[in-house]
Structure formats: structure tokens, C-alpha cells
Structure 1
Amino acid sequence: MKGTVELLSSGMYTTIQDGGRFGYSKYGVPKSGAMDLRSFFLANAILNNDENSAVIEWTVVPPVLKFLGDTIVSITGVICDPYLNDVRCKMNSQIKIVNGDVLKFKNVRNGVYGYVGIFSGFLSEFILGSRSQYNQITKFSRLFRNDMITYNSVSRFSTSNSLISNTVFWEELDSLHVYKGPEFDMLSDMQKDVLLHHDFTISDIRNRMAISLEESLENDLSSMLSSPVLPGTVQLTPSGRLIVLMRDCQTTGGYPRILQLTKESINVIAQKRTGDQIGFTIVD
């Protein structure tokens, strides 16, 4: 039997995401996927789902969700207070949902991206091996108020009372682990010193495609041919601006690729807020 969830309020840039879309970069199709994959995988692990099951991802301002059909959900990511029918419930645990229940969130205190997982995953459109929403690939790039999303309802509940401890890992890691990018050795010693021994501030120029940093790095590098880029690539623009590419980034770029974030560091910077400071530490 199928159930549906209705968005009574859409929140801010709320989307359906899974682990991403792979094997289509040569056609210019971004990987997409959950901005914070650690929280995404946790949402599914709590429910014993396939690890790539689709979830709802929201950005800073949460949606309000009404469930039409019994199910079990999990809430991970941003630190906030979830309420089921105005009764406080727990993050990082299984939450029993019955037909007509309304889930809302209050007091978003830390982080940027929140996740709602559901038993067996949301059943949105499946295109090029993924349910992740992306403009010009899926019908819509995000969810809107009154949208209805299908899921498999459950006929029998077997929720667990155990609570998975999930530390606020993005607070603990202000220094992002990175590898040297292909053009790193083109930097001068002074540029490398600034890059690796100074803090940088997350700017308000940010979205699912990229995060721009406030501080600039003096740049006299020559222009380069367009070359492959990935989520986590740190580009240096002609003006000296540092741009960290994120999940919906383009597949090629013409700016020097001076650093490449590790997989975990991409999750960390995704949850950093505007005004937070980060540094870079090279790992082997």
C-alpha cells in the first residue's frame, strides 16, 4: 500500500536527494546527491534502509510535513527540535508515524542541512539512476508547498527505542582535510603559506553548486583550459576568490584547481554557516 507526504510548508530549498547520479559526467550531468552524505547515510541506517534510499533534504528553514499513511521516519543533520503533532520527538532515532500525523521543526540552532528519512525511501521520479532533484534533469529542481511525495506505507510497526549518538561533527572540524589540487604547485610559496596557515570565512554566496569564501588570495596564475572538476574542488578565480564546489557543481571548469576536499570535509563545510571560519590541512 502506498502513502503520501504533503508539504504543508515547503521550507527553504527543500529537495529529494539520494547518494547522487553517477556515470553521466561526460554528458555534463552533475553528481548531485545529499549535501551532507554522512547525515544522509545515518538517516537510512537508522531505518535499516538501503543506504541509497531517497530522503527529504531541507536548508536552514524546515518544511512542515503531513503524512497520509503509516510509516517510520528518522531525522538527522541540523540540530533542532522536531515535533510530531506538537509533541517533542527525538532526532537520530526511529519515529513511528500514523495516518494524519504532522511533523514540524523548531529552534534550528546549528548546521545548514536537515534530513527526513522514511522506511524504504521516498518514491519520487527516478532519472539516470537517481532520485536527486536537479534543474533540467528532473521535472522540478525543488519541492513546493502542497507537493505530494509517495512512499511505501507499513502495515506493522517494529520501531526500536535505541538512540544513535551523532555528535555535531562539523563543529569539531574547523580545519578541513584536503589533497593538493592539480594546479597547487603553480602557486608561489607565499600563496601556499596564506592558503594553509590562515583562516577563511564562509560567505553568504553559497548554494548547492558552490560555497564562496570571503577572503581572497592574490592570484597571478595564467588562465587554463577547461578541465574536469568534482564536488570538493577548490578553485581560484582571476580575482583571487576561493570557490569550493559542492554537490550540484558543473563537471568542468576553467579556474585553477588548487585543492581537493576529502569526502568527510565536503560534509563538514556543507553544514558550516555563513560567517563560520575554516582552514585547510593537507593530508597524504
Structure 2
Amino acid sequence: MLKIIQPGFYTTLQDLGRYHYRQYGVPVSGAMDQGALRRANALLENEPGAAALEVTMKGPEVEFTTPTFLVVSGAHLEAELNGEPVEMNRVYQVPAGSHLKCGPVLRGLRAYLAVKGGFLPEVRLGSRSYFPPVTRHKFLARDSELPYAPCEDFTPRLLKLNAADSYGQKEVRVWPGPEFDLLNPSQKACLFETEYHLAKEHDRMACQLGPAMEGIGTSMITSATLPGTVQLTPAGKLLVLLRDGQTTGGYPRILQLDPDSLDLMGQKKSGDAIRFLWA
């Protein structure tokens, strides 16, 4: 069992998402940086979608009541296990009673703390990812507990992985969205010539980009959206839908991020710059 002493700034439980329920308005959810989650699980030889803690900005302080092995991946997270520094993307044996204390997340926004076998709270609609009202919890709370299967006997095939730090990269790759051709030539040029910055309106559902551009006055029927859909409002605001984004929307869908760029957007914070490139 994992005991939460301090939950951190915004720590949730995430796997690779909740599929086959979008027709009921249920978002996919899941890890904002799925590449980082897969990397942590690969080192532990877990299933790729085993549930892990997603740490945003500042990590938790926790106690492991039973033995396991852990990996921290994603954006660099300052952490100590029983008083010793934890390296990123490295497997650590965790005896029963061990104490992990995390500090701030650096060079990115989100880190992932995975254990052998994954965390094992109840599955809701095919996923353990936090998303109320599907799940009872929105984020970890002080003095809460998370179950996992104890593990003492594990010899990892790979102890450590050197992962490239690309979180400072500005370029996000996109495909044209269904309404891309509603843009006039000057709007299309503007999209790919402008450096945009993430506004303070930014969470797991979506982020807003600035500066605003010329909007589209055409109305449209509410239509399906996906994580990574870029919408343009009539006022010229660009909205990038993220993992908890709504399943339909009434704004023109002018671009769609490729999967790697969607992961990169999950590591961007308010004020960070991006530029669009064709995938």
C-alpha cells in the first residue's frame, strides 16, 4: 500500500486512458505524456498502460508499506528515497517502510512515478485514470492510500535508460483538421509563421494560445473532437484540447496534433512557446 503523507501540488493516477465511451461524452483522459508513462512501465516490465502517479509541478511525500520497485520518468523531478537522491529513468528497489519525498518538477511540467505491477485501485469504465464523476477522486488527498501488489523478487533486464530531454522543444507537428480549408491564405500563413505562447488558461482539459489571430465567422454543427484537436474561436483564440478535453465542440477544428506533439504539449506550462509545423 502507498500512504500519501503530502499529495503535492496536483498529483493524479493515470494510465493510457479510457476508450469506447466517447459516445457518452466521457473523455479519454490518461497520462498527459504517454511516452513517459510507457518508458517508466517498460523499465519495470509492466504492461504499457499500468497505472502510475502523474505529478504536476511539485511531487508528493509518500510511504511504501510493502516492498516494491519504482521508476520516476518524464520531466525531471527532484526526489529522495530514504534520504538518497533518485535518478530519472532508473529502477530502484523499495523495501517496506521506505519514504519517498519529492520536490519541484524541473524542465517540463509533469513527471510519472510508477511501481512494479502498477497501482491497483478499482477500474472504472475500463481505466484507472482519475476523472470525476467517473472516478471518486480528482487528485490524491492527504492521508489517502493506493494499493499495489507487493514485490520483492524482480531482476530488471535494464536498470537505467538515458532518455532525451526534449521538453524545451518549440515545434509541434500537426495535420490539417476537418475545417482547415475554411481559413483564408493569410490565416494559413499566420498559423505557421507565428510563435505562440501558452496562456494561463491551461489545465488537463485544454490550453489557450496567444496571440489571437483572425477568427472564422462561419457557424458549424457541434462535431467530434479528439485530444490534440486545435480549435479556432470566432474571436480568433486558438484552443488545444488535451487528454481530458470534451468529446464534441462547435468551433472549427483547424489542426490536429500528432501523438508525440500531444505528449510534448502535456509538458508545456503557461508562458512556454510553441510553433506549428506540418507532420
User: Aligned AA for 2:40?
Assistant: A
Partner residue, 1:197: 193
Q: 1:79 and 2:109 equivalent?
A: no
Partner residue, 1:110: 107
What SS class does the counterpart of residue 219 from structure 1 fall into? coil
Task: Quote the Cα distance in structure 1 between the aligned partners of 2:61 and 2:271.
Answer: 27
Runs of 5+ unmatched residues, structure 2: none
Which of residues 25, 34, 38 in structure 2 aligns to 1:37?
34
Task: Quote the Cα distance in structure 2 between the aligned partners of 1:123 and 1:152.
Answer: 8
What SS class does the counterpart of residue 154 from structure 1 fall into? coil
What SS class does the counterpart of residue 40 from structure 1 fall into? helix
- 2:107/2:167 contact within 8 Å kept: no
Matches within 5 A, 1:1-284: 4-159=1-156, 162-171=159-168, 173-283=169-279
Q: CA deviation at 1:158?
A: 2.5
Q: CA deviation at 1:205?
A: 1.0
Q: Deviations over 1:59-101 (max 9, x none)?
A: 1111111110000010001113221011112110101101111
Task: Quote the Cα distance in structure 2 between the aligned partners of 1:177 and 1:50.
Answer: 28
What SS class does the counterpart of residue 268 from structure 1 fall into? helix
Aligned residues, how many?
279
Q: Deviations over 1:204-251 (max 9, x none)?
A: 111110011121011133111100000000011121111100000110
Higher mean Cα deviation, 199-208 or 156-165? Answer: 156-165
TM-score normalised by the chain length of structure 2? 0.97
What SS class does the counterpart of residue 19 from structure 1 fall into? coil
Compute the RMSD of aligned alpha carbons. 1.2
Q: CA deviation at 1:155?
A: 3.4
Task: Quote the Cα distance in structure 1 between the aligned partners of 2:192 and 2:105.
Answer: 32
